[in-house]
Amino acid sequence: MKAIVQDRYGSSEVLEFREVDRPVPKDGEVLVRVRAASVNARDWHVMRGDPYVARLAFGLRRPKRRMRIQGGDFAGVVEAVGKDVTRVRPGDEVYGEADGAFAEYLCAPQGVLGPKPANLSFEQAAAVPLAGNTALMGLRDVGKVGPGQHVLVNGASGGVGTFAVQIAKALGAEVTGVCSTRNVDLVRSLGADHVVDYTREDFTRTGARYDLVFDLVGNRTLADCRRALNPTGMLILAGGGVSEGGSVFGPTGLLIRGTVMSRFGGGGRIHVLTTAPSTDNLAALRELVERGDVTPAVDRTYPLSEAAEAVRYLEVEHAGAKVVITV
């Protein structure tokens, strides 16, 4: 089969389009013929091995064997199933999150995939799993967002942000999205009640106060973000730029500081979000999509052979919404 393979760290040139062996499902695994995959920030972090501290998980000198084929989000058709698989069968259309999505086939545990939303194309469905799950867990599970709350999403035009705006609205919140000038119309179209153009205004200095600030960027200090909270408000950290900690720690430095403050000086007002694939969350996202509350926003698509350019575009051009690879 064809796949995007990485044998060393570096720029997008290290992502090679080549022939590899087709995987065989083990017990409890599902073989999926991939129809589409989406690109996430994690993909270019793995590509570069950046920040360096992340190589403890990625692989010290080169990506670990399980990470040699890039990609994490996928949508496709079940080709075969291993022993003890009971949730799906060959021919089912599925979507989910697993290593090796930039390929014609992948094997995934049955616990990380679910039925594809019926009203989405494969390309749209592939945009949902990681980003949608992050937004859902941050807002519903940690933030406990409900009707009447005021929620600010910093990074509202990004992959997670586009889902966060819509999910917060579906939960009944009044939503403010922060983005650049070129993405103001996009964020408004997603349902944001208010949009802050960060090139013209600093949301931490407007005087507005929020019940929840969902920070997906990390371009403001923790003190600044806390200033934008009301007295009982919550700051949720779910990302950050490399500039926050440099190439050694990258966004990890910000998240570590957030964790320390939440435990020893934040009074429970700061939470560092951790996520994991979940069939239950995929089902919840499917319900939101099929109900019309959430629609994946796709910036552009690339064929599998141009996946390296897709990753470069997300990293360098700061794509709005999701970037999708068709297989």
> Percent of the chain beyond pLDDT 90?
75
Residue 290 pLDDT more than 70?
Answer: yes
User: pLDDT tens-digit profile of 93-116?
Assistant: 999 999 999 999 999 999 999 999
Range 192-201, long-range pairs (CB < 8 A, 24+ positions): 192/153, 192/156, 192/165, 195/156, 196/152
Q: Which pLDDT belongs to residue 220?
A: 85
CATH code, residues 130-272: 3.40.50.720
Q: Which CATH number fits domain 2-128+296-326: 3.90.180.10, 3.30.420.10, 1.10.10.370, 3.90.100.10?
A: 3.90.180.10
> Are the C-beta atoms of residues 163 and 156 closer than 8 Å to each other?
no
In angstroms, the CA 132 to CA 54 distance is: 23
* Domain map (residue ranges) of the chain: 2-128+296-326, 130-272
**Nearest in space to 176 (alpha carbons), one of 189, 186, 188, 158:** 188
**Nearest in space to 130 (alpha carbons), one of 87, 75, 78:** 75
User: pLDDT tens-digit profile of 218-230?
Assistant: 888 888 999 999 9
pLDDT-based confidence at 245, cuts 50/70/90? very low
List phi, psi (to 5°) of 198: -70, -15
In angstroms, the CA 285 to CA 73 distance is: 14
User: pLDDT tens-digit profile of 171-186?
Assistant: 999 999 999 999 999 9
Residue 246 pLDDT more than 50?
Answer: no
User: pLDDT tens-digit profile of 21-80?
Assistant: 999 999 999 999 999 999 998 887 888 777 666 666 776 677 776 678 989 999 999 999
Q: What average pLDDT does the chain have?
A: 89
Task: Give the strand pairing for 174-179 and 194-197.
Answer: parallel
User: Do 2-128+296-326 and 130-272 agree at the fold level?
Assistant: no
pLDDT-based confidence at 250, cuts 50/70/90? very low
Task: Provide the token pair at 187.
Answer: 């964020």
Average pLDDT over residues 140-159: 97
CB crowding 223-256: b at 16 or more within 10 Å, else e:
eebbebbeeebbbbbbbbebebbeeebbbbbbbe
Q: Which pLDDT belongs to residue 129?
A: 98
Residue 6 pLDDT more than 50?
Answer: yes
